[in-house]
Structure 1
Amino acid sequence: MARQEAPEKAVPEKAGDGTPDGAPAGSVDADGAAAVKAPGGAPQPRSVRVVLLALMIAMLLAMLDNMIIGTAMPTIVGELGGLAHLSWVVTAYTLATAASTPIWGKLGDMYGRKGVFLTSIVIFLIGSALSGMAQDMGQLIGFRAVQGLGAGGLMVGVMAIIGDLIPPRERGKYQGMMAGVMALAMIGGPLVGGTITDHWGWRWSFYINLPLGAVALVMLTIVLHLPKRDRAERGAFKGRIDYLGAALLTVGITAIVLVTTWGGTEYAWDSAVIMELVAIGVVSLVGFVFVETKAADPIIPLHIFRSRNFTLMSVIGFLVGFVMFGAVLFLPLFQQSVQGASATNSGLLLLPMLLSMMAVSLIAGRTTTNTGKYKIFPIIGGGLMTAGLFLLAQMDTDTSRLTSGLYMAVLGAGMGFLMQITMLVAQNSVELKDMGVASSSTTLFRTLGSSFGVAIMGALFTGRVEDEMAAQGGSAVTQQSAQLNAASLAKLPEQVREAYQFAVASGTHSAFLLGSAVAVLGFLAAFFVKEVPLKGAGPAKPEPAAQQGTEKLAEAV
C-alpha cells in the first residue's frame, strides 16, 4: 500500500496525470500513456509547464493570425489587386477553421491527440508559407483556406491535451495563462501587423508564423508523450470515420458562416442567395443529426448533450462568442470615430477590457482550484457581462475615454468569469474518450456565436448609422460612413462630422443594447448549471478505519 501511494504524495499539484478519479498518479491516461514523468512514475510539474508553454505558443498562432493580417490587408490589395475579392481572404480562413474544428476533435479522440495536433500545426505552417508566397488574390484565398484548415485543429488540440494532462480542478490555475494569451493576441496583433508590414513587407505577416510554429513543434515532439492507443484503450471507437456526417456538418457550417458573412453586406438579408443558403444549412444540419443517431463512430456523439451542464456550457459559449466579438468590433470603431483615437493603436483601446478579463480569469481559476466550486462564476459572469454591455449602450458623443474604459472593465470582468469556465465545465461533463469532441463542440459553438454576433450586431449598427446619416448628413457621406476614421473625419465639415459622430454613437447604442439582451440569456442559463464535483479534485480524504482494515486484510491475503 505504501509503495503505491508514494507517487501521489510526491506531487501535490497532481499536474500531468490526466487520469480518472481514483487512478494512481502515473497511470495510463486517455491517450494510452502517462504524462511526462519523473523517475518513480510521478508526473513532473516542470515538464508539464514546458508542454503548456508549447501549447500556448500554438494557441497564440491561431489567435494572432487574423489580428496581424487585418492590418496588412490594404498593403496586400495594393500589391496583388483583386479588391472585389478582399473579403474572401478572411472568409476562406474562417470557413475552413469552423468546418474542420469538429473533425479535428473527433480524429484526436480516435487516433491519439499528439499526432493529430502536430499534423494540424504542420498544415497551418504550410498554409502560412504558401500564403506568404502568393502571387495573386486567387492563390492567397486558396492558401488561406489551407491555413484555416490547420487552424481548426490548433485551439481544439490545445484544449483537449490540457484536458488530458491536467485534472479539471487543477486546470483553474492555468486559466490566467490562457486569458493572457488571448489578451496578448488582441493587443499585440494590430501593433505587430503594422510594424511587420511597414518594415519587412506584408509577406512576413505570414512568415512570422513559421519560427513560432517550429518552436512549438520541437517542444511538443520532445516533451509531450502521448503514444497511440490500441483498440481496447479507444473504447467504443470502431476505427471508421463518419464521412457522411462530416460532409453534412461541413456543408451546414459553411452555409451558416456564409449567411452571417454575406448577409446585409454582399447580399440583402431577404435575397435569393441568402434564403438558399439558409435552406441548405437547415437541411444539412437536420440530416447531420439524423445520421449521427445511426453512425457507429459519430463525428459529434449526441449522447454528450444528455449532460445538462455540457449543453448549458455550449449555449453560454455561443452567447459569449456573440457578445465578445461584437464588442471587439465596435469598441475601437466608437473610440476612433467618436472619441478621436488613433487607429494605429486600436489594440490598446481594448486594454481595460482585456486586463480586467485576464485578472478575473486568474482569480476565478485559482478559487476553483482551491475550493472545487464553480457554479457561482457563470452567474456572476453573466450578470457582469449584461451590466457591462448595458453601460456601453449608454455611451454618446460626450462620453469620456475614462468612462468608456470603466464600462469596458465591467464587461471584461464578466467575460473573465465565463471564458475558461465554460470549457472547464464542458470537459468535466464528459468521459475522457470524448474529450476531443467536447472541446471541439464547445469551440465550434463559440465560433458560430461570434459569426452571428458580428453579423447581427453589424447589420443593426450599419442600418442605424445609415438612417441617422440620411436624416442629418446626406447620402454622400452615408455611402462611405463605414470607412471613416479619425484622420478622414478631420477633413469633413464640422456639421457633417458631428452628424456622423452622432450616428456612430446611435449605432453603437443599438448594437450594445442588443448584446445586453443576448447576455441576459446567458445569465439565466447559468442558474441551471449543476455543481458537479471536478474530477481529480482536492487532497485525498482520510479513509474510514473500517475501510483501512478491510484493505489491510485484503493485502495480507
Structure 2
Amino acid sequence: MVTIIVPLVLGIFLAALDATIVVSSYTVIGSELNQLQSTSWIATAYMLTATSFQALYGKLSDIFGRKTCLLFAYTVFALGCLFCGIARNMTELIAARALAGAGGGGMSTVVSIILSDVVPLRSRGTWQGILNVIFATGSVTGAPLGGILADSIGWRWAFLIQVPIATLAIVAVIIFLHLPHTDHSHFRAKLRRVDFPGAVLLILTIFSMLFALDRGGNVSWTDRATIASTLVFLVSFPVFLFVEFRVAAEPFVPLRLVGNRDLMASLMTNFWQFFTATPVLFNLALYYQAVMNLSAGQAGAYLIPSVIAGTTGSLGGGLIMQKTGKYYRLTVAAYVLFAAGVAGTALNTGTAKHALVWFVVALLVQGIGGGTGVTTSLISLIANAGPEDQAIATAGSYLFRSLGQVTGLAIASTILQDVLRKTLHHRLHGQDVDEIVKRVRESLAYLEELDPESRGIVRYSYEHALNTVFWFTAGTAALALVSSIFIRETELGKR
C-alpha cells in the first residue's frame, strides 16, 4: 500500500497546493501584467476546464486504464504550470491556467478511483480521511507560500515551483504504481470505444453552464456573454442526453446511473453540501472584514477551525465506518451537524454582538459534520454502484461537488449584491448614493474614505446583505440533510 499511496499523495497535495498558492499572488500578477481587472480569470479559467474535464476521467480510466489517465492528468497539469510561469501577458497566463485545469480536474478524481480499486470498501473511508488530511495540508501551505514567493523571487515561481513536484509525481507513478491490466486490447481499439460526440457535448454543456453562472453572479445576468452561454447550455444539454441515452455504445453517463435513486441521493447530498459550504466560507471572510473590521489575515485565521474540523471529521468518520461497517446513521447525523453549524452562523450574524467565539463554534460544528458527511456519502455512492460503474460514479461525485461550489457562489453573490445595493439606496439619503454604492461594491478600502456616519451605514448594509445570504445557505444545508435521508445502507463488510 505504501508504494501505491506515495504517487497518489503527491497528486492530492499538489491539487490542494495549486488551489491556494495563486490566491495571494493575484494583485502582484495583475499589476505586473497591467491587467488587474482580469485577474479573476486566472481562477475562473482553471475552474471551468477542471470541472468540464472532471466528468470524462471516470469513463476514460475504464477504457485506457487508471495509470495512463493519472499520468496524463499529471503531465497536462505540469505543462500548464510551466506555461503559466513563462507567460508573457495575461492572455497567455489565462490560457495556460485553462490547460492546467484540464489536468488538475483528473488528479483528485483518478486518485479516488484508484483508491476504490485497491482498498477494501470497509477501510475506504479511513484512507479517504488520510488523503483529506494531506489535501488540507496542501491548502494551508499554499496561500502563505504563494505570498512569500510573490514578494521575494516573483509570482512566476508560484507556478514554476509546482513543475518539479508534478514531475516527481509522474516519476513516482511510473516506478511505484503497479496496477493489474484489465484490458489488453490495442490502443486503436480503445480509441474506438470513446464516445467523442458525448465528450464534446459534455464539456460544452458543463463549460457553458459554469461560464453563465460565474458571469451572471459576478457581472450581470443580462450581460450578452451570460445570455449567449445560457443559450448554448440550453441547446447542448438536451442534445447531450439524447446522445448518451440513445446513440452512444459506451456513454459517459449511462441511463442506469441517472435512474438509480441511491446514487442520485449521494450525488445530490454532495451537490447541496458544496453549494452551501463554499459560499459560507467565502462570505464569512467578507463579513469579518466588512462588518467586524478585521484584517484579511485575521479573517483567514478565523476560518482555520473549519479546515481542522473538516479533516478531523473526515478521518473520524472513516474510522467509525471501518469499525462498524455501516454509514447511513453516521451520514444523517453528520448532515444534522452540518446544517446546525450553518444555521448557527446565520443566527450569529443577526445579533448585535457578533461574538467571534460563536462563529468559531459554528464553524467547528459545520466542519465536523461536513468532513464526516463528504467521506460517508462517497462510500455510500461506491457501495451502491455496480463494479462496472465505480469509476463513473466516483467521477460524478467530484463533478457534483464542483457544480455545487460554482452554482452556490454565483447565486449567493447575486443575492448579496442585490440586497446590498437596495439597502444602501434605502439608507443613504441626500448623498451621492450611486457613486458610493458603486465604490463600495468595488473595494472595501473605500470604507476608510467615508465619514463615520456613512461608514456605519455601509457596514450595516453589508451585515444585512450577508445575513440574508447565510439564511439562504441554511436552507440549502437543510436540502443536503434531506438528500442524505434517501441514501440506502449497504453492508460494507461484504465488499
Q: Which residue of 2 aligns with 1:432?
A: 387
- Root mean square deviation, CA, Å: 2.3
Deviation at 1:508, TM superposition (A): 1.5
SS class of match (1:529): coil
Deviation at 1:230, TM superposition (A): 2.4
Deviation at 1:345, TM superposition (A): 5.1
SS class of match (2:17): helix
Q: Which residue of 1 aligns with 2:462?
A: 504
Q: Which amino acid aligns with 1:72?
A: S
Kindly tell me: are residues 535 and 444 of structure 1, through their superposed partners in 2, closer, same or farther at Cα, counting changes over 3 Å?
farther
Deviation at 1:160, TM superposition (A): 0.5
Aligned residue runs from structure 1 range 116-195, under 5 A: 116-195=69-148
Select the residue among 69, 73, 81 that pairs with 2:34.
Answer: 81
Aligned residue runs from structure 1 range 139-538, under 5 A: 139-230=92-183, 239-266=192-219, 268-293=220-245, 294-344=247-297, 346-394=299-347, 395-396=349-350, 398-473=353-428, 474-485=433-444, 489-534=447-492, 537=495
Q: Which amino acid aligns with 1:284?
A: S
Partners in 2 of 1:299 and 1:439 — Cα distance?
Answer: 12
Deviation at 1:483, TM superposition (A): 4.5
For residues 346-370 of structure 1, the C-alpha deviation after alignment (integer angstroms, 9 at most, x for no partner) is: 4422112121222122221101001
Kindly tell me: are residues 376 and 301 of structure 1, through their superposed partners in 2, closer, same or farther at Cα, counting changes over 3 Å?
same
Kindly tell me: are residues 183 and 197 of structure 1, through their superposed partners in 2, closer, same or farther at Cα, counting changes over 3 Å?
same
Partners in 1 of 2:49 and 2:64 — Cα distance?
Answer: 22
Higher helix share: 2
Deviation at 1:325, TM superposition (A): 1.2
Kindly tell me: are residues 432 and 208 of structure 1, through their superposed partners in 2, closer, same or farther at Cα, counting changes over 3 Å?
farther
TM-score, length-scaled by structure 1: 0.83
SS class of match (1:393): helix
Partners in 1 of 2:391 and 2:203 — Cα distance?
Answer: 18
SS class of match (2:333): helix
Partners in 1 of 2:111 and 2:179 — Cα distance?
Answer: 14
Deviation at 1:414, TM superposition (A): 1.9
Mapped contact 1:111–1:229 kept (Cα < 8 A): no
Deviation at 1:401, TM superposition (A): 1.4
Kindly tell me: are residues 535 and 132 of structure 1, through their superposed partners in 2, closer, same or farther at Cα, counting changes over 3 Å?
farther
Mapped contact 1:339–1:401 kept (Cα < 8 A): no
Identity of aligned residues (%): 28
Structure 1: segments with no counterpart, 5+ residues: 1-47, 538-557
**Is residue 2:31 matched to residue 1:72?**
no
Q: Which amino acid aligns with 1:82?
A: Q
Larger Rg: 1
Partners in 2 of 1:303 and 1:93 — Cα distance?
Answer: 31
SS class of match (2:39): helix
TM-score, length-scaled by structure 2: 0.92
Q: Which amino acid aligns with 1:411?
A: Q
Q: Which amino acid aligns with 1:200?
A: I
Deviation at 1:149, TM superposition (A): 0.7
Deviation at 1:204, TM superposition (A): 0.8
**Range with bigger deviation, 83-92 or 143-152:** 83-92
Partners in 2 of 1:413 and 1:264 — Cα distance?
Answer: 29
SS class of match (2:296): coil
Deviation at 1:313, TM superposition (A): 0.9
Deviation at 1:501, TM superposition (A): 1.8
Partners in 2 of 1:204 and 1:417 — Cα distance?
Answer: 35
Mapped contact 2:325–2:493 kept (Cα < 8 A): no
Q: Which amino acid aligns with 1:276?
A: A
For residues 242-280 of structure 1, the C-alpha deviation after alignment (integer angstroms, 9 at most, x for no partner) is: 0111111111101111111100433x3244543332232
